[in-house]
Structure 1
Amino acid sequence: MKRENIYAITFILLLLAAVTAFFYNRVKEDPLPPLLERSGPISTTSEWVNTKAAIEGLQYKLRRNSNDNQSKLLLALAYMQEARVTGEHPYYYPAALQLVEEVLSGRNAGEAVLFEATVAKAVIQLSLHQFEEARETGQNALQINDKRAAVYGVLCDANVELGNYEEAIGMADKMVSLRPDLQSYSRVSYLREIHGDMPGAIEAMRMAANAGYPGLEQTAWARVTLGNLYEQTGDLAQAEAQYRRTLQEYPEYAFALGGLGRLEAKNKNYLEAIQLFERAARVIPEFTFHKELAGLYKLTEQHGKAKNSRKELLDGLQEDQEAGHIVDLELANIYLDLDGDLDKAMKYASKEYERRPDNIDVCKTLATIYYKKQDYRQAAAYLKKASRTNRQSASLLCLEGLVRYKQGDQVAGRSLLMKSFSMDPFQTSATGEEGQRLLRASLSSL
């Protein structure tokens, strides 16, 4: 073989070895979860430019020093926020959890970093609906530092989801005493809501929205939640005002678009509602938008689109499950509301009930399933648990009125139905429509 050929072959082999070593070391030394590119309206904002620059800066620091726990924690927090903004939960929450676990397992993290990382882990577990684990992690954070408001926030949330409402109130009181801000006011609002104080809930959520900086995602969330509270009380004009103000401060905010879509549906403007939910779904892949769309497509006899939307909905939840997200309650409500498949709904609701038997939303779903199965005794038993906080929910009162009526107490049933529709005359659920029909029939017979 000629000497120049030997040199050429040797050079190629060395080049291949160098390339292989480069990529091997890059994978080995750069295990950082990459940032996903955004698409749609949220990819053209100045906020995305700033977020991308900040995250790339943190990644650069970690490539230079993989033991920089502060930067690792900040990157995890940035990914958690990116999950909220983009709806890409199946990717970002596991990525953030990986980073947080690395901080917690490291040896050179100070107490402040360990506390923040432990709280962040609890927040991720809450987002994945791992509520018992989140409470345990929150207790660990409390052992590190009991003077920070954030730890009481995660303990409040975990106890709410587990149905430990008295404990949740104590955590919220402690949180707001340490740091009265958007985060603490919003928790006070929800606790007031589920305990029947709707004016107080609205007041606290208004304080939360006003405490936030206009244009931030958290402020937009608080203002949309304020709109939801008005919507629950039947004040659609105030709800619309909050949703539109949100869109002025945070253009194309998906949940504000969804709120406007619900209002159009309540006013029976179904095509306009569909357009708004389609816009919202193009911004982020939120499962509730696809659920609303599936129902609206079915209502307007667009059966092909209804089928496709239902498939996207279930595919998305499957992806969430694979990422560690517990979605049994969501699946139960999908099979109940969209399909009327009571056996599948019962299967998933029962699994959720095993995990958190004291949660009022889980009990309400089971009560609805038993009502649809015409097992009114069991429905009443679960309604008793679902109503134990005295929540003044129009849909809950409607269901209770239907159950009481079917059990033979027509006077009490009619009274509850009247109260329900005086609170919110725009109920569009199957039980809401049934309640309206029953109420009209019973009043016409008097």
Structure 2
Amino acid sequence: MRRVRKALPLLGCVLLGCALLAWFAPGAWLRRDETPPTPPRRTAYEPAAFIDQAQDHLRRHPGDTRTWADLGGAYLEQARRTGDPAFYSRAQGAFQRSLPDIDAVIGMGALANARHDFALALRWGTRARTAAPYRWPLYAVLTDAYVELGQYVKADRVLRHLLDGRPDLVSFTRAAHLFHLRGQSARAREALERARDIASDPADYAFCVWQLGELAWSDGDPRAALSAYTEALAADPSHTPSLAGKARAEAALGRLADARRDYADAVTRSPSFVVEYGELLQHLGDQAGARRMYAVFRAQVKLQAANGVTDSLAVGRYEADHGSPAVAVRELRAEWGRRHSVDVADALGWALHRVGRHTEAARYAAYADRLSGRNALFAYHRGEISRALGRTSSAHAELTRALSINPYFSPDGPAKARAALGGAALDSSALGGAAPRGPAKARAALGDVELDDAPPHGPAQTRPARGGAA
């Protein structure tokens, strides 16, 4: 049987195997003196078809460890495309049949990232680097793990090494993510455009264009976002994140019937978007519909846990706004004990605010701005925390900043921000660059809060072990 060799897919990422057409310098920026050639013709890769072929081959050749590793990678890709966490257990079984093959070691790291066990992913990636330092997919595993653990300097270092050795779709999309975290939208967009231009598979192309849509959305341009999501769906009609993004953009543009239709379609394909859809329904006054979506989310959390997936960040965010803020604090303190990312810092700060611990919340909210990114929701949270602390000036600055970044950042948040600002009409000059940025300026915005490069101190800062030894 002709074996299809695909590099291992990672959570939120796409398949490798693209031509090397662009280049990043070691200084972490794109060279502009090269014109990318014409992209290759896109052909579809169907993980389900490969899974059938690989299973048939392995029934006749059960000792073929490389095909077991390939099968594990196909299961991971199928989990990414379908949102079915049952494929994670199948991937684990396939990789374990292949160990200690280096592809299986890298695959175990990718699987750990997909299951949100980033410390375990780091251990698998480190093991792979020790055994085979020139296997480029392992650096994608390490980059993802370091980013999610909040170790951004190490993520930069590993990503630069990957870009030097393999400037391709996988490395470009990761570079775009780091640029976006730092608020460097133009650089993120250029990296994504390079990735899009070399995408060889419709699913890869859709992923890149969807990311461009997400970038436009976060920058407050729902029309550009809608155009990107529509283009992504034209390339791959099964790309559910683009369908959910399309619904979000439609809602922002007042096309509520279209938004509800597309959200309903998206959540039937994947439950990943049920909270987002529930929030829109709640905003529209459909409380019963919102409760149904939230019930689906709670059921999905249990299903994921049964398949080895723990997403305390998603659970904490949900509980802070729609369930028990005290449960949110407990979940997010545990997550903070495992990783110090800006996303966890923001979520924990917001949960602490929701239970009335505003001073402690301010420390985490300030830490969430350590990369000086452009995140409207983070700025809104800082503004509300400042309001609770009676810091009117900093609250005004942060709420204004949130609306300047993206005046559609959530169904209810923008209206609440405007109400807190006194309902005054805000023109573009008032919205541009009004709020402090960066760790030191975040401290100023939030008041006299101690913050340095170390994470905020607080309870439950122990780092419990997760997963087995790699």
TM-score, normalisation: structure 2:
0.77
Task: Name the SS of the counterpart of 1:387 in structure 2.
Answer: coil
RMSD value, Cα: 2.0
Q: Report deviation, 1:61.
A: 1.6
What's the counterpart of residue 316 of structure 1?
300
Q: Is the Cα–Cα contact under 8 Å of residues 295 and 338 in structure 1 kept in the other structure?
A: no
1:343 equivalenced with 2:343 (yes/no):
no
Q: How many residues of Structure 1 are paired with residues of Structure 2 in the alignment? A: 384
Counterpart for residue 84 of structure 1: 80
Q: Does 1:75 align with 2:71?
A: yes
Provide closer, same or farther for how the CA distance between residues 145 and 101 of structure 1 changes in structure 2, counting only shifts above 3 A.
Answer: same
Give the Cα separation in 2 of the matches to 1:53 and 1:348: 39
Asked if 1:143 is matched to 2:126, the reply is no
Provide the C-alpha distance between the structure 2 equivalents of 1:395 and 1:189, rounded to a whole number of angstroms. Answer: 20
- Do residues 383 (structure 1) and 378 (structure 2) align? no
**Pair 1:208–1:286, CA change in 2 (3 A):** farther
- The letter of the residue matching 1:354 is G
Going from structure 1 to structure 2, the CA distance change for 1:51 and 1:429 (only over 3 Å counts) comes to closer
**What is the alpha-carbon distance in structure 2 between the residues aligned to residue 82 and residue 347 of structure 1?**
33
Residues of 2 paired with 1:223 and 1:318: CA distance?
Answer: 32
- Say if 1:115 and 1:411 are closer, same or farther in 2 by CA, change over 3 A: same
Q: How does 1:21-170 map to 2 (within 5 A)?
A: 51-89=47-85, 91-104=86-99, 114-170=101-157
Distance in 1 between residues matched to 2:256 and 2:227, nearest whole Å: 20
Aligned to 2:396: 414
CA distance in 2, matches of 1:309, 1:135: 34
After superposing the two structures, state which structure 1 stretch, 425-434 or 322-331, moved more: 425-434
**Residue 282 of structure 2 contacts residue 290 of structure 2 at CA under 8 Å; is this kept in 1?**
yes
2:218 is the alignment partner of 1:218: no
- Give the Cα–Cα distance (whole angstroms) in 2 for the partners of residues 431 and 77 of structure 1: 40
SS at match of 1:234: coil
Supply the distance in 2 between the matched residues of 1:412 and 1:52 (Cα, whole angstroms): 53
Provide the C-alpha distance between the structure 2 equivalents of 1:443 and 1:379, rounded to a whole number of angstroms: 29
> Does the Cα contact within 8 Å between 2:244 and 2:262 map onto a contact in 1?
yes
Match of 1:371 in 2: 353
TM-superposed deviation, 1:443: 7.5
Q: Can you list the C-alpha shifts for 1:250-273, whole angstroms capped at 9, x where unaligned?
A: 124211110111112223443322
Alignment of 1:354 onto 2:354: no
| Cα displacement string for residues 156-211 of structure 1 (whole angstroms, at most 9, x for unaligned residues) | 11011111000000011111111111100111111111122122112212222222
Please say if residues 280 and 411 of structure 2, whose CA atoms lie closer than 8 Å, have aligned partners that are also in contact. no
Distance in 2 (CA, whole Å) between partners of 1:52 and 1:306 is: 33
Q: What is the CA-CA distance between 1:245 and the residue it aligns to?
A: 0.8
Cα contact 1:230–1:236 (8 A) shared by 2: yes
On the 8 A contact 2:83/2:270 being kept in 1, the answer is yes
Whether the 8 Å CA contact 2:173–2:195 is kept in 1: the answer is: yes
Q: Relative to structure 1, is the Cα distance of residues 418 and 350 closer, same or farther in structure 2, using a 3 angstrom cutoff?
A: same
Tell me by how many angstroms 1:122 deviates.
0.2
Q: Tell me the residue number matched to 1:31.
A: none
TM-score by length of 1: 0.81
Q: Are the structure 2 counterparts of residues 374 and 145 from structure 1 closer, same or farther at C-alpha, using a change threshold of 3 Å?
A: same
**Alignment partner, residue 35 of structure 2:** none
1:154–1:291 Cα change, 3 Å: same
Cα separation, 2, equivalents of 1:360 and 1:92? 29
Partner residue, 1:202: 189
3-state SS of paired residue (2:299):
helix
1:397 and 1:334 map into 2 onto residues whose CA distance is 19
Question: How many angstroms apart in 1 are the aligned matches of 2:302 and 2:401?
Answer: 39
* 1:417, distance to aligned residue in structure 2 (A): 2.1
Residue 439 of structure 1 pairs with residue 421 of structure 2: yes
Pick closer, same or farther for the CA change 1:397–1:306 going to 2, 3 Å. Answer: closer
Distance 1:47 1:423 in 2: 37
* Within-5 A mapping of 1:234-273: 234-273=220-259
Q: Deviations over 1:127-148 (max 9, x none)?
A: 0011100000000000111112
Q: Does the C-alpha gap of structure 1 residues 442 and 246 become closer, same or farther in structure 2, counting only changes over 3 Å?
A: closer
1:440 aligned counterpart, secondary structure: coil
Asked if the contact 1:149/1:174 (under 8 Å) is kept, the reply is no
Stretch moving more, 165-174 or 400-409: 400-409
Q: Does 1:285 align with 2:281?
A: no
Q: What is the DSSP-based 3-state SS (H/G/I as helix, E as strand, rest coil) of the residue aligned with 2:408?
A: coil
Q: State the one-letter code of the partner of 1:420.
A: A
Amino acid at match of 1:324: G
| One-letter amino acid of the structure 2 residue matched with residue 96 of structure 1 | A
Give the counterpart letter for 2:216 in structure 1: Y
Question: What does residue 174 of structure 1 align with?
Answer: 161
* Helix, strand or coil at the partner of 2:180: helix
> 1:334 offset after TM fit, Å?
1.3
- Higher relative contact order (CA closer than 8 Å, sequence separation 6+): 2
In the alignment, structure 1 residue 307 sits paired with structure 2 residue 303: no
The separation in 1 between residues aligned to 2:212 and 2:223, in whole angstroms, is 12
- In structure 2, runs of 5+ residues without a counterpart are 1-42, 427-470
CA distance 1:98–1:304, change in 2 (3 Å):
same
The answer (yes or no) to whether the contact 2:418–2:424 under 8 Å persists in 1 is no
Higher helix share: 1
The amino acid of 1:73's aligned partner reads A
Which residue identity is paired with 1:87? G
One-letter amino acid matched to 2:381: L
Distance (Å, rounded) in 2 between the aligned partners of 1:291 and 1:194: 23
| Deviation digits for residues 63-113 of structure 1 (CA, Å, limit 9, x no counterpart) | 112111122111111111111121112x111101111011115xxxxxxxx
> Aligned-pair distance for 1:51?
4.3
Structure 1 residues 310 and 417: alpha-carbon distance in aligned structure 2, compared to 1, 3 A threshold: closer
